[in-house]
Amino acid sequence: MSSVHALAGVGAEGATSVVGATGAFNATWLLLALPLAGAAVLLLGGRRTDRTGHLIGTLAAAASFVFGLVLFFTLHGRSSSGREVSSNLFTWLPVNGLKVNVGLLFDPLSSVFVLLITGVGTLIHIYSIGYMAHDPGRRRFFAYMNLFLASMLLLVLANDFLVTFVGWEMVGLSSYLLIKFWEYKPAAATAANKAFYVNRVGDVGFLIAIMLMFATVGTTSFTGVFNAVAQHAIGYGTLTAIALTLLLGAASKSGQFPLQTWLPDAMEGPTPISALIHAATMVTAGVYLIARSNPIFTGSQAARTVVLIVAAITILLGCVIGCAYDDIKKVLAYSTVSQIGYMFLAVGLGPAGYALGILHLLAHGFFKAGLFLGAGSVIHGMDDEQDARRFGGLWRFMPVTWVTFGLGYLAIIGFPGLSGFFTKDKIIEAAFDKGGTSGWILGCVALLGAGLTAFYMSRIFLLTFHGERRWSDSGPDAKHPHESPTVMTAPMIVLAFGSVFAGGLLVLGGSLQHWLTPSIGRSAEVGAHTINPAVLTVLTLVVAAGGFAGAYLRYQLRPVAAVAPADSEVSPVTVAARHDLFLNAFNEAVLMRPGQYLTRFLVWSEAVGIDGVVRGIAAGVGGLSGRMRRAQTGFVRTYALSMLTGSVLLVGALLLVKAS
């Protein structure tokens, strides 16, 4: 069942060695198999499992988490040179020179992901027992969540790029199924399709990267590819091409510019899904991919520069749009876009930042999941209302939600001592430390982002929990806000603890960075700081405090209208932000409309063109119908046009063949 790959002397990263699985690691596959079995039982069991489905699903997730803990501590007990454990399951695609095996790699990097996925996953399963209690499709919901867990675990555990890609697509499927969970709502069905389409654009990139790997070094396995990189067997141009195509995939999955448009729409899915898939785990897969492919990105300065540019744009874009929305979930969604931008910024810095990206990813997993669950609790208590302008003063009615959401909020804006304070500060610091003009630009962007984050998060927090009540408990639109049941609040409390402590625990003493060293190499030594870290911390706090003050002045001390002011009454920036900076409109105008016209033209030309020629010949040769012939000759110009179109297509394709 297992094979041993021992890599001798993988250059710059120090000697790393992958060892064969022994003992408990022989059963690493159980991590995926448990939730997969859960999904299978729930989907095939049909209505018979309606009553117990949520329990089976939650149990499968919890079992996987417990086993993940066992493996984690077993790994922890090993010396750091034996912490990359590979187990080979079966041969998947063997065609002569190409040999793809399905195998799992349990190493420090995948181990923290396993714990994040199954841990947060289990909490959200528990929460969903309450959240989906009255939904007739609850069993199906848990089945899809189990399917997601299995897929996500395959994504982070695979030891071959092509198998990673399988997990990558399976999480995309789970995401699609769950976004359109309420598919009788047209908006949900549309959002699910959009998510799939945009991710397919990224898939093209990922696939091209994999094909480049095979064509260049004859393998797609991690060890094979990284070994070749370490031996400098791949030229700089090819390495950069691989990195950039991987980045295309990563950007689509993680909602990074310019492929971020699907993520806010994905909020059409049930809120637990927004917490699990579209905040804590799946959307961070892009960060995982870059961190996992660290030898490739380390080897290409050019590619990392592109990562940094994408990250910087995304941070600001997410923040600016997040300031304009009133829908609590949309704000959190753009916040996710922007926070993943920070993670991309970190991993784009190369060896100095890989660990920081993972660090922020884990902390974000806790506080963003907690924020979403809190938002879900509010939405639940307010009869499915999501518009924060119709909330207000809710702290009195849902105290647990208020406190847990509040702690997540403080964590994300970087309140001293809480998770975000440690993890985001580190990224800002590393950005400045990059040095040069680019370092200053990136640092300032990150700093500005921190201020904007404090503003929009304070805004949504104050609008929801504080200030005037902008709802009524009588009349036709009466609301009766109430705290959620324990089955929902308990996971929120656990995540709140994580929001408070995770960052500090992971950062202090460099514990996570040290742990991750076998997977992503030692963090680059900190040289001279561009700005003294203490000064920078104070500066960051001041900027964040400014953001808070702005929100406090505007949304706490002044009355807030229950209906958003019309576009004509707000600034052009706000209008643009409300319309997602017109990026959706741009996509529609540049991609969708021309595509529609092309499709219509081809359908028309096919009917009267190619097929018309055939019918014309048939009519002409047979001399069957004068009427038909007359009708056909009227289309001579159309034939000509369609023949011309065909010829152009063919010549174009031929040129491609020649170019290859």
Partner 1 sequence: MSTVPWLTILLIVPTVGSLVVGLLPRARAELAKRLALTVAVAELVLAVLMAVSFHDSRPGFQFSQHYNWIKAFGISYSVGVDGIALALILLSVVLVPVVVLSSWHEADEADRNVPVFFALILSLETFMIGTFAATDVFLFYVFFEAMLIPVYFLIGSYGPTGEQAQRSYTAVKFLIYNLVGGLVMLAAVIGLYVVSAQNLRHGTFDFAQLRQLNITPGVQKLLFAGFFLAFAIKAPLWPFHTWLPDAGAQSPTGGAVLLVGVLDKVGTFGLIRYCIPLFPKATTWFAPLVLAMAVVGIFYGALLAIGQRDMKRLVAYTSLAHFGFIALGTFALTSQAGTGAVLYMINHGLSTGLLFIVVGFMVSRRESRDISAYGGMAKVTPVLAGVFLIAGLSSLSLPGLNSFPSEFLVLVGTFTRYRALAIVATAGIVLAAIYILYLYQRTMTGPLAEGIRAGVGDLSVREKVVVAPVVALIIALGIYPKPMIDMIRPAVTSTFADIGHSDPAPTSPAAAPQGVHK
Q: Which residues inside 174-203 make contact with partner 1, applying CB under 8 A?
A: 176, 180, 183-186, 188-190, 192-193, 196-197, 200-201, 203
Residue of 30, 69, 602, 631 that binds partner 1 (CB under 8 A): 602
What contacts 310, CB < 8 A, 6 or more positions away? 247, 251, 256, 257, 341, 344, 348
Q: How far is the CB of 203 from partner 1 (least distance, A)?
A: 6
Angle, CA 588 vertex, CA 285 and CA 314 arms, to 5°: 35
Segment contacting partner 1 by CB under 8 A, of 5-13, 314-322, 459-467, 516-524: 5-13
**Residue with Cβ nearer partner 1 (73 or 604):** 604
Pull the structure tokens for residue 379.
């939405």
Q: Which is nearer to partner 1, 201 or 576 (CB)?
A: 201
Q: Give, as one character, the DSSP assignment of residue 158.
A: B
Does residue number 211 form part of the binding site for partner 1 (CB under 8 A)? yes
Residue selected from 173, 309, 524, 581 as contacting partner 1 according to rule CB under 8 A? 173
- SS3 at position 86: strand
Rule CB under 8 A: is residue 12 a binding residue for partner 1?
no
Residues 626-655 touching partner 1, rule: CB under 8 A, are 646, 649-650, 653-654
Contact predicate 202/257, CB 8 Å:
no
Structure tokens of 589? 């105008």
Integer Cα distance of 491 and 102 in angstroms: 34
Instruction: Tell which positions 51-90 bind partner 1, by CB under 8 A.
Output: 90
Angle at 89 between CA 87 and CA 94, to 5 degrees: 120
- Residue 4 engages partner 1 in binding (rule: CB under 8 A): yes
Minimum separation from the CB atom of position 31 to partner 1 (A): 17
Q: Is the peptide bond before 35 cis (omega within 30 degrees of 0)?
A: no
Please say which residue, 527 or 623, places its beta carbon nearer to partner 1.
623
* Least spacing, CB of residue 533 vs partner 1, in Å: 40
For residue 89, give the H/E element and its range.
strand 85-95
Binding span for partner 1 by CB under 8 A among 62-70, 437-445, 515-523, 605-613: 605-613
CA atoms within 13 A on the CB side of 127: 31
191 Cβ contact partners less than 8 Å away, ≥ 6 residues apart: 179, 180, 262, 265, 266, 267, 268, 269
Binds partner 1 (CB under 8 A): choice among 162, 340, 507, 512: 162
Interactions with partner 1, residue window 329-388 (CB under 8 A) = none
Q: Give the C-alpha separation, 74 to 79, whole Å.
A: 10
What is the DSSP track for 302-367?
A: HHHHHHHHHHHHHHHHHHHHHTT--BHHHHHHHHHHHHHHHHHHHHHTGGGTHHHHHHHHHHHHHH
> Binding string to partner 1 for residues 559 to 598, with x set by CB under 8 A, is what?
------------------------------------x--x
Per CB under 8 A, the list member of 59, 69, 207, 493 interacting with partner 1 is 207
When the beta carbons of 573 and 614 are compared against partner 1, the nearer one is 614
Beta carbon of residue 596, minimum distance to partner 1 (angstroms, whole number) = 9
**Nearest to partner 1 of 196, 440 (CB atom):** 196
Distance (Å, whole) CA 183 – CA 652: 41
Q: CA dihedral in degrees (201, 205, 206, 207; nearest 10)? A: 100
Provide the minimum distance between the beta carbon of 502 and partner 1 in the complex, in angstroms, as a whole number: 33
Q: Which of 22, 80, 231, 511 binds partner 1 (CB under 8 A)?
A: 231
**Residue number with CB closer to partner 1 (215 or 557):** 215
State yes or no: residue 396 binds partner 1 (CB under 8 A). Answer: no
Q: Which residues of 603-628 are buried (b: 16+ CB within 10 A; e: fewer)?
A: eebeebbbebbeebeebeeeeeeeee
For the CB of residue 548, give the shortest distance to partner 1 in the complex, in Å: 42
By CB under 8 A, what part of segment 611-630 binds partner 1?
611, 614, 618
In the bound state with partner 1, the residue whose beta carbon lies nearer, of 542 and 591, is 591
Residue 169 binds to partner 1 (criterion: CB under 8 A) = yes
Total of residues contacting partner 1 (CB under 8 A): 79
Among residues 535 and 644, whose Cβ is nearest to partner 1? 644
Q: Are 144 and 42 in contact (CB under 8 A)?
A: no
The stretch near partner 1 (CB under 8 A) out of 408-416, 443-451, 551-559, 610-618 is 610-618
- When the beta carbons of 4 and 640 are compared against partner 1, the nearer one is 4
**Looking at residue 257, what DSSP letter applies?**
T
93 binds partner 1, rule: CB under 8 A: yes
CA distance 335 to 367: 12
* Residue-wise burial string across 518-556, b where 16 or more C-beta atoms lie within 10 A, e elsewhere: bbbbebbeeeeebbebeebbebbbebbeebbebbbeebb
> Which stretch in 51-59, 91-99, 350-358, 370-378 sits in contact with partner 1 by CB under 8 A?
91-99
Per rule CB under 8 A, is residue 209 in the interface with partner 1?
no
Residue type, 526: V
